[in-house]
Amino acid sequence: MRIGMQLSYSGGFNETVTELADYEKAGLDLVTVPEAYSFDAISQLGFLAARTETLHIASGILQIYSRTPTLTAMTAAGLDYVSNGRFELGIGASGPQVIEGFHGVPYHAPLGRTRELVEICRQVWRRERVQHAGKHYQIPLPPEQGTGLGKPLKLINHPVRSRIPISIASIGPKNVALTAEIAEGWQPIFFHPGRAKDVWGDALAEGKAKRAPELGELDIEVSATLAIGEDTDHLLDAVRPGLALYIGGMGARGKNFYNDLACRYGYEAEAKRIQDLYLDGKKEEAAAAVPDELVRAVSLIGSPGWVREHVAELAAAGASTLKVTPIAATHAERVRLVEQIKDIAG
């Protein structure tokens, strides 16, 4: 099982990067940089490529609406070049709150756009002349939509790899099925190993039935806050605000994908209460309302024995990459946590 770490987009980036050498020595395999309505991920990923030697670097995630497919492909090829083949492209649709509210782009047809973007990226990386006549993207642009002067072009440079791994962040059944069909990896959010099969099992099976053999096994990348010790229960409270933000605040009533996921996990009443409190501005009360069972399920916080059992449960549910956020008072203690989880995960 690979061990990764997600860097914060809201601060502390430079400090963390200076510490990455220690995490590399501790066995860290992967580091991801998210992109919300924050600093862009690309400049930071390029900086990481220059400051690391063996770590794989990944976007977690680039939103499919904020760049053209060919620019996404060019960017991925460039990051793969400067990292000497260590880049992994993580993409996702995000949601209307960010896409329409921050980028000013209609949140339209996420599934179709995702499929076409992946097809175009792989065409670019193979250095084919890009020609795509899809429902959402037409390359070159037809004469009736432009000047008529466009012509098929191929990437000038020779990419390090003709196939850069793609992982997709998805939670809805149709999007998860698409991910299992076309991507090398899947980035679920709030992965509950005890209920994942009930929520996503059919969608994963549907997608895998159409999956091309050359894609290999689907890499399921699970994120979790990490703390190992006999007296760590109080640290579970550090997980609650993030869950409350997504379940309660990322979207509106009736249009919140993360709230829908909590409901599908079986927390319908709790999800409604969290959302009501959060949208009423009662964020602390919303965090307190997140069910203890959910907080524990999506975290790696507990005694060494409990963490070992939970990692085994995650592996049995299909997880093959753990992206951890170690929480401890000192850098040395956080490095030790990475060493411990690397040993536990094997």
Burial tier of 254 (Cβ tally within 10 Å: 0-12, 13-18, 19+): exposed
pLDDT along the chain (346 residues), means of 10: 88 82 94 93 94 94 97 98 98 93 96 98 98 97 95 98 98 97 98 98 98 97 98 96 96 92 98 98 98 98 98 98 96 97 95
DSSP string, 305-325: HHHHHHHHHHHHTTEEEEEEE
What the block records as the tokens of 285 is 């009360």
DSSP string, 111-137: HHHHHHHHHHHHHHHTTPPP-EE-SS-
Q: Is the distance from CB of 120 to CB of 69 less than 8 angstroms?
A: yes
CA distances from 50 to 7, 53, 100, 163, 267 (A): 16, 8, 34, 22, 44
CA distances from 254 to 95, 101, 109, 259 (A): 13, 17, 18, 9
How much is the pLDDT for 203? 98
- The residues spanned by each domain of the chain are 2-226+299-345, 240-297
How much is the pLDDT for 12? 75
How much is the pLDDT for 15? 82
Residue 299 CA to residue 190 CA, distance in Å, equals 9
What the block records as the tokens of 94 is 């995000």
How much is the pLDDT for 10? 67
How much is the pLDDT for 160? 98
Domain 2-226+299-345 has CATH 3.40.50.12280: no
Residue located via tokens 């510490």: 19
What the block records as the tokens of 310 is 């939970």
